[in-house]
Chains A and B, each alone.
Chain A
């Protein structure tokens, strides 16, 4: 079974500073990895995903994440944040299906990013 841990519940940062939101996963098989963003009183929006191939994944709004298999991590980064990036960010994991059945995403507890002027 898979699990995911977001290491920081809150991350405060000043505008135009870089930021890293940390995500570690646990799985005995290969994984799919996702980052979602949630603005206040809204649903979740997909930022980026890793399925296979290049370990550096670029997403929307200038975010990127790097898959590190040896560290079982998928940290989200942005070189320069804006006030509008203030939101909650969720990491999620799943595992590819190789036979019948169905699959689900497992979500982390979320990290609240607060960007200050």
Chain B
């Protein structure tokens, strides 16, 4: 069965601290992995995709196929990073994007 696990519902850190939001997936085939973010009172939006291998707003994510993980990292958290983050694998076979339960990141001043 296709499954996405984000083990932490809430991650609270102080400004300037490193951040790692965990994501593990169980998926048939080779899914494409995404992170989506939802800031307060804003619509859900794409943060980054593993294929592009780029850094967005200081965030990076490395796909580890052996561990089936796609953790999101940022070395120095900022208050404006406070939001809900969703890990989402996409299967080109089915055309479906499946979301994890999400992790709320709270960055304290």
A binds B: no
Interface residues of A (CB under 8 A from B): none
Interface residues of B (CB under 8 A from A): none
